[in-house]
Amino acid sequence: MSLRTRLGSWLMRDVSGMYDNGGTSTAPADWLVSMLGGAPTTAGVAMDEWIAEGMPAVYACVHAISETVGQLPLKLYHKTAQGREVADGHPLYAILHDLPNPEMTAYQFREILTRHLAMWGRAYAYIQRNAENEVEALWPIHPNRVKVDRNAMNVKRYTVNMSHGMQVEYLFNPDRPPILHLHMNSNDGLDGRSPIMINRESLGVTKATDDFIGAYFGNGAVPGIIVTHPGRLTEKAKENFKKQWTEKFGGPTNRGKIAVLPEDVKINVVSTDPQKSQLTELSQEQISAAARIWRVPSFVIQNHTKDTSWGSGIEQMMIGWINTGLMPYFEQWQQAISRDCLSRKTYRTHYAKFVTAALERGDLKSTMDALAIGRQNTIFSGNDCREKLDENAIGKQGDTYLIPSGAQVLGKDGKPVVDEPTLMPPDEKQIAKGSEAVN
């Protein structure tokens, strides 16, 4: 690819505000590396987040995570003596659950930031506040526009590179954080690292394999050849033969045509058959490698060639993915919101949490059996069960709990608590009946 082509492709990306981190001859600046096609790999291809996103396995893994996190309800709760209650009256509730800013839905906002986190290892959103320090809106910022470091006073600093060469600096203030900041794979606690760049060598092999297969079929699935002739051909004759051969037999539409060769011309195949070089197996292995990077099970990205050790049913596999693959993203969101969006006062009384019941729910029979057991063992009330089924409550009568027959209450010493009979003074009628009995 020519420098001009690379430059044009780079300018088409939405990175006009990419931060200029300087760079040296041995460690070029990020913008220069991106313009030249990404960081090089030993497989001979460049690799960065933009290139990796065009690879089907990477795209499937990243979007499986970001779309799942985006679609789940994110609610704000208030801690109470009985446990918790939905804090739908808090100003932050609607921003997290419905509309983070006037231009985006909650799904779009969470999907974008989670995709940034999965691809770049970091995600940012500017926090718009009012005079009372309440969050009014959250605006996503592309990771390539942000640099995180510390200033001369050792205060955490966000430098956001805007369009037209403008830069804005925000200093971290625990009482009024300017940026909602999520990051993973960090080495210093300041910012995250990209899984793409950490695993660029493995992903470079995947990209090189895809490029080879594409070029192979782009040439009509015809292996590389050497043309020999016993006589001496002029340069013009060689060029004419190559041109005619390419026009007649090059490309997938010309596959299968019969070649009639000039006298004494011989064709020798020199390239390797993709099937013999096990490119299919290599490509399959690279899909598994991408799945391992993001801990996405095969069935989620439509790859059913391998079994899983999590269980034989989709329910067990889904629960395993939630606990090992998705839970880190849920915790990232929940804890970052508590730190950056809640005030020091409400930090101890409120918290955000994803509603993952829909993902954890099994088939209808298993769900109903589990709710029945919980109801019979005083774990759930009737309204608790209906809430888990996304049904409306049935009133105060639904808040009662059943006590199993024969169950006993244990005291602190572990012994059953026995209610002693209450002795009440006899009324006048009972006294009169007692006197009659004596007489």
Choose one of 362, 384, 402: the last residue of a domain. Answer: 362
24 within some domain: yes
**pLDDT tens figures, 218-244:** 665 555 666 676 777 778 877 877 777
381 within some domain: no
254 within some domain: yes
42 within some domain: yes
Give yes or no: residues 10 and 82 share one domain. Answer: no
**pLDDT tens figures, 151-201:** 999 999 999 998 777 899 999 999 999 999 999 999 999 999 999 999 988
Cα separation, 437 vs 439, whole angstroms? 6
- Tokens 């994803």 sit on residue: 354
Q: How many domains does the chain have?
A: 3
Mean residue pLDDT of the chain comes to 79
310 within some domain: yes
Question: Among 28-32, 262-266, 297-301, 345-349, which stretch is predicted with the lowest mean pLDDT?
Answer: 28-32
391 within some domain: no
**pLDDT tens figures, 293-347:** 999 988 888 766 554 555 456 777 777 888 889 999 999 999 999 999 999 888 8
**pLDDT score of 108:** 97
* Model confidence band, residue 9 (pLDDT cutoffs 50, 70, 90): very low
Give yes or no: residues 66 and 1 share one domain. Answer: no
Give yes or no: residues 356 and 317 share one domain. Answer: yes
Choose one of 315, 337, 362: the last residue of a domain. Answer: 362
Q: Which residues contact 329 (CB under 8 A, 6 or more apart)?
A: 65, 69, 114, 117, 118
pTM assigned to the model: 0.73
* Model confidence band, residue 119 (pLDDT cutoffs 50, 70, 90): very high
Question: How is residue 437 written in tokens?
Answer: 């009995």
**pLDDT score of 13:** 47
Range list of β-strands (E), 57-121? 74-80, 83-86
Give yes or no: residues 206 and 285 share one domain. Answer: yes
**pLDDT score of 228:** 72
Give yes or no: residues 105 and 123 share one domain. Answer: yes
**pLDDT tens figures, 362-404:** 667 777 888 888 888 888 888 888 888 778 888 888 888 877 7
49 within some domain: yes
**pLDDT score of 146:** 95
**pLDDT score of 10:** 44
Of 28 and 313, the one with more pLDDT: 313
Choose one of 337, 362, 387: the last residue of a domain. Answer: 362
Give yes or no: residues 68 and 110 share one domain. Answer: yes
CB contact burial 296-313 (16+ within 10 A = b; e otherwise)? bbbebbebeeeeeebeee
Give yes or no: residues 17 and 121 share one domain. Answer: no
**pLDDT tens figures, 62-94:** 999 999 999 999 999 999 887 889 999 999 999
CB contact burial 270-291 (16+ within 10 A = b; e otherwise)? eeeebeeeebeebbeebbeebb
Give yes or no: residues 328 and 252 share one domain. Answer: no
How many Cβ atoms are within 10 Å of 173's Cβ, its own excluded?
A: 10
Share of the chain above pLDDT 70, in %: 68
188 within some domain: no
Cβ atoms of residues 128 and 95 within 8 Å: no
Give yes or no: residues 100 and 245 share one domain. Answer: no
- Element counts in the chain: helices (H) and strands (E): 16, 13
Give yes or no: residues 103 and 135 share one domain. Answer: yes
Domain range enclosing 354: 38-141+194-219+273-362
Share of the chain above pLDDT 90, in %: 37
Give yes or no: residues 134 and 239 share one domain. Answer: no
Give yes or no: residues 326 and 284 share one domain. Answer: yes
CA-based angle 41:223:283, to the nearest 5? 45
